[in-house]
Amino acid sequence: MATIETTYIGGLRTEPIHLQSGTKIITDAPVDNQGKGEAFSPTDLLAASLGSCMLTIMGIAARTHQIDIDHTKCEITKVMAADPRRVAEVVIKFDFPKTYTEKEQKILSNAALTCPVYYSLHPDLKKTVDFGW
């Protein structure tokens, strides 16, 4: 059974729908690739998926070990390359609102670096992660 249904709506835009919830988003081609840049591009979603996955898996580990990570943020920068056009690097910088023990840091960083999206990305894609410990 499908998870997402995506429709090309014209003008270099798509509308993916999450079938279980009915939630819709719009994607737009970036300005440097003939688009308007008025919404997430598909490669922006790739970078956002990695950050969201890392935070989600950290959240599961945090819940298991009773570590409060509420309001933790990560800033994600994607670096594009040409020939072929692709994401060459994703830089993720975490911002934690609290200070953690060495043990908690290890739990959280291990969780982040074992998220399914991290493992699903091609090994040639450079992933630079700064936890800021």
Grouped pLDDT means (10 residues each) for the chain, 133 residues: 96 97 97 94 97 98 98 98 95 97 98 97 97 96
d(CA 97, CA 123): 31
Can you list the alpha helix ranges (DSSP code H) found in the chain? 42-64, 102-112, 116-120
Note whether 28 and 62 are same-domain residues: no
CA-to-CA distance for 127 and 124, rounded, in angstroms?
Answer: 9
Do 68 and 96 fall within a single domain?
yes
**C-alpha angle 103-109-114 in degrees, rounded to nearest 5:** 125
Same domain? 15 vs 60: no
Verify that 99 and 125 share a domain, yes or no.
yes
Q: Is residue 77 located within the same domain as residue 117?
A: yes
Q: How far is CA 83 from CA 35, 77, 79, 86, 87, in A?
A: 19, 20, 14, 8, 11
The verdict on 23 and 62 lying in the same domain is: no
Do residue 68 and residue 85 come from a single domain? yes
Domain residue limits at 19: 4-33
Return the pLDDT at 1.
87
Q: Are residues 60 and 102 in the same domain?
A: yes
Same domain for 48 and 8, yes or no, is no
* Same domain? 26 vs 61: no
10: left (phi over 0), alpha (psi -120 to 50) or beta: left
Q: Supply angle C-alpha 32, 76, 132, rounded to 5.
A: 150
Per the structure, the count of domains in the chain is: 2
Provide the pLDDT for residue 96: 98
